[in-house]
Structures are given as C-alpha cells and as structure tokens.
A and B are shown apart, each in its own frame.
Chain A
Amino acid sequence: MPDLTAAASAETAPSDAILEARGLFKTLGGNRVLDSVDLSIGRGRVKVLIGPSGAGKSTLLQCLNFLMPPDSGHILLEGREVDKRSKKELCAFRQQVGMIFQDFNLFDHLSALENVRVALIKVKGLSKLEATERAVAELARVGLKDKATLYPANLSGGQKQRVAIARALAMDPKVMLLDEPTSALDPELIGEVLAVIRDLAQGGMTMIMATHQISFSASLADEFLFMDKGRVVEHGSPAELLGRGSSSRTQAFCAKISELTGEAGDGAAGECRL
C-alpha cells in the first residue's frame, strides 16, 4: 500500500532529480497558497498536479520557474540551487524550464514563426537564418509548419497552444511545466493539444502538468500529486490512487470530475469510472 501522505519528494531520490523544490511557501493577499511544498522529478518522468481550484497548482508551477518567487524555500536544477537574486542566472534557469500557460500567451503582433523565433534570436543569440530553421522545425514537430505565417488572431485555440508548445520546445528545456494547457480550449480542440503532449512524454520530455484531464493524464503520468489548500496531500501512481478499492481523496475528486464532465475512463483510471 503506498504512503499517500508522505512528502512528494520521497518518490525520487535527490540524486536522480532534475528539478527539485524544497519547503516552498507562498502567501498571496494574506492567504497561504503554498504551504511547505516539496517536489522532485527525475529525468523523463511525468508528474501531474491535480486538485480543486485554489489548491495552489498554478502558483506552484509559477514558483517553480520564479515567475512568482516563493516567499521561502529552495529550488534546484540538476542539484544546483538557483540564485533568484542574479538576473542572469534566473534568465538562464528559465530557458531550461519551459512553461506552457492556460491562455497560451502568444505574442499577438508576431506570426507563429516569429513567436517561436524571437527568443531564439534575443535570448539564445542565434542568427535570423538559424532561428528561422529551428522555428520551422519546431512548428513541424507540433504539426503547424503550414501555419507558420499566420498571426495569433487567425489561429484556433488548439493551434495557439501548439505554437506555444513549439515556442517553449525551441529553447531546449530540460523540464516543461504545463499549467492547465487545455482548460481554455473548446472540447473539440483539446485532442490536438493532448496528442502533442503525449508525443512529448513518449519522447522522454520531463514534465510537470496541472490539469483536470484525469483519464488522459492517468495514461501518461508516473505520479499524481493531489493538492489542497497549498499542500501536497496525496501522491502516488495513478493506478495506486485511482485503482479499485482506493479510498483516496484523489479518487473522490476524480470521480466528482468525471461525474460532472461525463469523461470516459481508461485502464489506469480503474475504479474512478473515468
């Protein structure tokens, strides 16, 4: 029987961890949104954050790449602590920890190609030609090579999110953080984004993803982390947490979501009737 309440970091030995967070605290507007969160992820692993709205999933992801600096705690990339006071180090760190946002955040004045290319030129210092070649390759990887000249205003939600993924991948990140990547999409557009995420996972990309796509993430994740009130309250493999006979909070939460959405289940979801 797995230990469902132990610190999440117990799952991955520190020496294997590519990204590690220790004792993260964050308070916003007087509310503690992260309360002593530990997390570590090994190379090529996929961890999924689930939990109710306001549980601290998005805050945790934003703290992990210092878009929202934690009040206290330590973040280590490949065993080396990030010095958040050094702007140079922070920029270098963020290049290696890609972030995908719920609402895409594409640069509206740039075409799909330019969206992917801009940071390659400005941050990585590539020439325009090199950056263009790389950007085209990344757009092809997410199936959007033929949309390279289109602007965000002319792309569907799913296409925008795929451009955002290509943009992050172009920076050669060691870890990808995905903050509810499909929650702003119409149901018929979700599939194309999930397919890209599945390809990334199968290609060995290390990912931490917050999502409500339970059955999809159950088929992909090595570990679920259930968050509530700023804490990781349960963690374990999807099969352990959602399996037949499980009385976990994760199971109850997922059952509620599947009841509301009528999501169909698959193997790993088991008892959750997903």
Chain B
Amino acid sequence: MSTPYLEFLRAELAPGLMEGLWVSVLVIVPSALLGVLIGLTAGVLRVYGPTPVRKITEAYVSLFRGTPLVVQVFFWYFALPYIKIAGWSLVLDPIEASILAFGMCSGAYQSEYIRGGLNSIKRGQIRAALALGMTTRQAVLNIVLPQAFRRALPGCGNEIIYLIKYSSLASIITVNELTGTATTIAKNTWRNIEVFCTLGVYYLVLVTLAGWILHLIEDALSVPGFERPRT
C-alpha cells in the first residue's frame, strides 16, 4: 500500500521538484536573456545591416528554426567537442550546453518578432531623425528600436513562455531540472501519473508567473499608442 498523495508530495515529490525547479530557473533565465540579446541583434541586422550581414543572419534563423531543438541540444553537448579549430575545441557542461542551445534557438525566433516590430515602424520616423542630424545608428537605437521592442514584446514574451516549457529538453543531456528530476522520482516510485501531473502544475505556475511579469513589463513601457489591449 503506497502512501497517500499529499504525504508523498510533502515528503518526497515537492523537495525533489524544488531542487529541480532551481536548476530549471538556472537554465531558463540565462537562456531567455541570451535569446532576447541575440534576437534584438539579429533582428536589427536583418533589417538595417549590410547585405552580407543580412544574409548571414537569415541563414542563422533558417538553420535554428529549421532543425529540431533536440538535435541542437545534442549538437552543442555531444558534437561540439569534436569540432577543433587550430587544435582547440570547446567542451560544455550539460547546463552550459542547454543554455547555449535554448538561447540560440530562442534568439532565432525572437529575431523574427523584432524584425516584424522594426518593419511596423513608419520609415518616415527614420527620415525625420536623419533630417535632425542623427546618424542611422542613432535613429535606429533611439527612435525605431524602443518602439519596435514595444510592438514585439507580446511575441517575445510568448517565446519566453515556450522556452520555459522546452527547457524540459535539458533532461535528455542529464540536466536534473524539473522534468529530469520528475522522471527520476517517477522511475523510483512507479507513481508516474501523480508525478507528471504535479510536474504539469509546476510548469503552469512558472508560465503564469512569467506571463504576469511580462504584463508588468508591458505596462511599465506603455505610452499612449503602445498600450496593452485590456479586456
């Protein structure tokens, strides 16, 4: 006779998942920041960069959007050490490989949202900034990007929510984050349904929390003409 669910949760499942949760946060936060940084850079370069740079960023987006994330995770963890440049190779630990994989993949998607945001800003505003004596770089950084970021924020937020969920793939390269920990507990206790349903609740809370923070950011950046629609 197994222990009741609440007792199992209190004694075994919750402490285990709490440890996994911290590892998940350790993977998700840097991945999200890396993704936004790469997304902003690649998005701007795709719209305003010189042709060769545009082509390179387009190739990056095609590659990372076009291949399964699990393949990318395996690549950074297992294949990267075999790539030697001038006799040197880079070996990443599982958490580093996960962050790089999620950040690079997320950045490719984020760049599309940023590109859409940039293209939604009327070209006339750049012309006006140039007419005031700004350089193109000043015009993009001070005029276009702040507006484009506001427009892209809901999409970028959505991508961060995806990232929270696909961080579970880190478990396949031995990272004991939420899903990895839950899998171990389930194997050891044979209480798969309870473990994975509880795991679902943890992700739901994480995603709800992230959505709430994203709304706060949207509200903080809100100015007339860029408000978040309220229902």
Contacts and interface: CB of A to CB of B under 8 A. Distances in A.
Contacts of B122: 103, 105
Given A99-B131, A151-B224, A123 B138 contact: yes
A108 B129 contact: no
Contacts of B127: 62, 67, 99, 101, 105
Nearest to B148: A109
A200 to B, nearest CB: 17
A94 interface: yes
Given A107-B128, A108-B147, A118-B142, A152 B225 contact: yes
A87 B135 contact: yes
A154 interface: yes
Nearest to A87: B135
Nearest to A103: B124
B132 A168 contact: yes
Contacts of B225: 108-109, 151-153
B139 to A, nearest CB: 9
B143 interface: yes
23 contacts: A67-B130, A91-B135, A94-B133, A95-B132, A95-B133, A99-B131, A101-B131, A103-B124, A105-B122, A105-B128, A106-B125, A107-B128, A107-B129, A108-B121, A108-B225, A108-B226, A118-B142, A118-B143, A119-B129, A122-B142, A123-B132, A151-B225, A167-B128
B115 interface: no
B227 to A, nearest CB: 9
B131, B135, B147 interface centre (most CB from chain A within 10 Å): B131
Contacts of B81: none
Contacts of A168: 131-132
A101 B134 contact: no
B223 interface: yes
A118 B142 CA distance: 8
A171 interface: yes
B228 to A, nearest CB: 14
Given A151-B223, A151-B225, A107 B132 contact: no
Contacts of A118: 142-143
Contact of B133 (A62, A92, A108, A154): A92
Contacts of A99: 127-128, 131
A98 interface: yes
A64 B138 CA distance: 22
Given A118-B142, A151-B223, A94 B125 contact: no
Instruction: Across the A-B interface, give the 5 residue pairs with the lowest CB-CB distance, nearest first.
Output: A153-B225, A95-B133, A105-B128, A99-B131, A119-B132
B46 interface: no
Contacts of B146: 109
A211 interface: no
A159 interface: no
B150 A123 contact: no
Contacts of A167: 128, 132
B150 A109 contact: yes
A65, A91, A106, A111 interface centre (most CB from chain B within 10 Å): A91
Contacts of A67: 127, 130-131
Given A67-B127, A119-B132, 18 more contacts: A62-B127, A91-B135, A94-B133, A95-B133, A97-B131, A101-B128, A103-B124, A105-B127, A107-B143, A108-B225, A109-B147, A109-B150, A122-B142, A123-B133, A150-B224, A167-B128, A168-B131, A171-B132
